[in-house]
Amino acid sequence: MILDDNLVVSLKQYLQLLKQDIVIVFSKDDSENSEKISEFINQVAQLSPKISIEEAKLKRTPSFAIKTKDQEKPKIFFAGIPLGHEFESFVLALLQVSGHEPKVSPEVKAQILNIDKDLEFETYASLTCTNCPDVVQALNIMSVINPRISHTMVEGGMNKQEVEDLNIMAVPTVYLNGEEWSDGRMTVEEIVNKISDNEVVNKVSKEMQKKFDVLIIGGGPAAATSAIYTARKGLRVGLVADRFGGQPLETLGIENITGTPYIEGEPFMKNIYAHMNQYPVHVAEGFKVENVEKNQEDDFEVTLDSEDVLTSESVIVATGAKWKKINIPGEIELKNKGVAYCPHCDGPLYKGKDVAVIGGGNSGVEAAIDLAGTSKHVTVLEYGSELMADKVLQDKLRSLDNVTIITSANTKEIHGTNKVQSFTYIDRTTDKEITIDIDGIFIQIGLVPNTQWLENTVELNEGKEIKVDHMNQTTIAGMFAAGDCTDVAYKQIVIAMGAGATAGLAAFDYLITK
């Protein structure tokens, strides 16, 4: 069976919410992949009397589409089995096609409806990619709202030859009307802005426009913990983030949270979000903060990219960090053509191939262990004389037969034309220059804080990290900071959560003594 017992129970509950009868249109052939898709959709259909299956020839075979009985042609297609991170995309597509209103603002919906041209989107995704569902779900929503738009999720593992022929080496990659159009995570607003003549301006809710006691900027573990601690104090709390989840969404396995021996990044953050939602925290997601400054009343005014201005008596900055670039020739030129930063997003595209990982810390070694499960061979390069990862991770890495570890390596250049073909490093003990043929290279050399928008606002250190004291207070009264965006010595999830709690409690103390 394709669906395990847990997925069957979960899906059956969702299918009870269907408003209209759904038809799954199946385009089949004699291939093994077609048999797998057939097993999947038949298992789904057995879970609800409102779902039926009919056979028809679609553009892709094997594939399936979703439509209502009254709908002439389907607009949402799946070339593959939407499990893993795409299972949610499949469930939402069923519900939205059946009549549930997609969760977009009236302004965005109007802009989608105003698109007056035929748009055929195809998203190449992997089932382990945490960024892909955002794009898949956004394009599915647009296909539900506007009949001139269609979307196909193409699962890379089931369409390997096509992926190789198109030289797709990173996901999500989106094609529009047969031409490569975008790559990487995008919100529905960003997609609509890219294809529309008139920019969509997503505005915050009226509740977000009211003055807060505490406004938290960020969407990771530190931000959520701050929100929980301040809300529990009875404060009026707001949280604004470009995307809720932070760095854990790009972490395959977390094994060092006390009391939780193992959990993957996405369910970990879903648990945190559900916990936070038990309190009256007002959340605005999909917005970037452009500026923070104090007004004449000594309140903070936080300006968003939507031109909204939020007001709060105190602010907690918990914007986290992003992957650091190595800044060598070939990195930018070959990004998404063999140069990657997310091993469990793009790793499946390198099955049976030779890859390299730059970085010998926890992130690099975890990436190498992950890649070794599917890649032909993994080469790990560390600039220092020894790996810096935890011993338990090093022991696991050294136990793998298809991994080579190279220390004292200064990576010099990445080579290739349309895709990565090799890289060169300098052996720092001999000064010898060595070139290795490779299909993909994953850069895991640490993080850079998301603080560029604060450079003229608050004091930062040389690494652009926010300077904080033992109470997580910044150099501005009433502004606190927590997590990987600060100058804390160690960047760990559990430390970020503790710092979020400290910042929240310190903000409360600040407010009651203000």
Contact 87, 7 (CB under 8 A): yes
pLDDT score, position 404: 98
225/498 Cα distance (integer angstroms): 8
Of residues 189 and 469, more confidence is placed in 469
| Domains of the chain, earliest start first | 5-195 (3.40.30.80), 207-322+447-513 (3.50.50.60), 339-443 (3.50.50.60)
Residues 6+ apart with CB under 8 A from 118: 148, 149, 177
Of residues 253 and 331, more confidence is placed in 331
388/239 Cα distance (integer angstroms): 35
The residue assigned the tokens 């707001």 is: 238
395/390 Cα distance (integer angstroms): 9
476/392 Cα distance (integer angstroms): 41
The model's pLDDT over 132-178, given as tens digits with 9 standing for 90+, comes to 999 999 999 999 999 999 999 999 999 999 999 999 999 999 999 99
* Burial grade of 367 (CB within 10 A; 0-12, 13-18, 19 or more): buried
Q: CA 264 → CA 94, 176, 249, 253, 513, distances in Å?
A: 26, 32, 8, 4, 41
The model's pLDDT over 291-328, given as tens digits with 9 standing for 90+, comes to 999 999 999 999 999 899 999 999 999 999 999 999 99
| CA geometry: angle 257, 84, 109, nearest 5 deg | 105
Assign 200 a pLDDT band (cuts: 50, 70, 90): low
C-alpha 161: how far from chain center? 26
DSSP letter for 385, please: S
The model's pLDDT over 349-381, given as tens digits with 9 standing for 90+, comes to 999 999 999 999 999 999 999 999 999 999 999
The average confidence (pLDDT) of the chain is 95
> Three-class SS of residue 181?
strand
Q: Would you give the end-to-end CA distance of the chain in angstroms?
A: 61
317/486 Cα distance (integer angstroms): 9
**94's tokens:** 């069923």
| CA geometry: angle 157, 263, 279, nearest 5 deg | 115
**41's tokens:** 């959709």
**122's tokens:** 């195809």
Relative to beta strand 76-79, strand 377-381 is: unpaired
Which stretch of DSSP H or E encloses residue 274? helix 265-276
Per-residue b or e along 423-434, where b marks 16 or more CB atoms closer than 10 Å to that residue's CB: bbbeeeeeeeee
264/6 Cα distance (integer angstroms): 17
The model's pLDDT over 85-126, given as tens digits with 9 standing for 90+, comes to 999 999 999 999 999 999 888 888 998 999 999 999 999 999
- Percent of the chain residues topping a pLDDT of 90: 88
- Best CA proximity match to 379, nearest among 356, 361, 413: 356
268/444 Cα distance (integer angstroms): 22
506/482 Cα distance (integer angstroms): 11
Residues 6+ apart with CB under 8 A from 406: 379, 380, 381, 382, 425
197/380 Cα distance (integer angstroms): 46
124/167 Cα distance (integer angstroms): 11
Relative to beta strand 339-340, strand 440-443 is: parallel
**361's tokens:** 């810390």
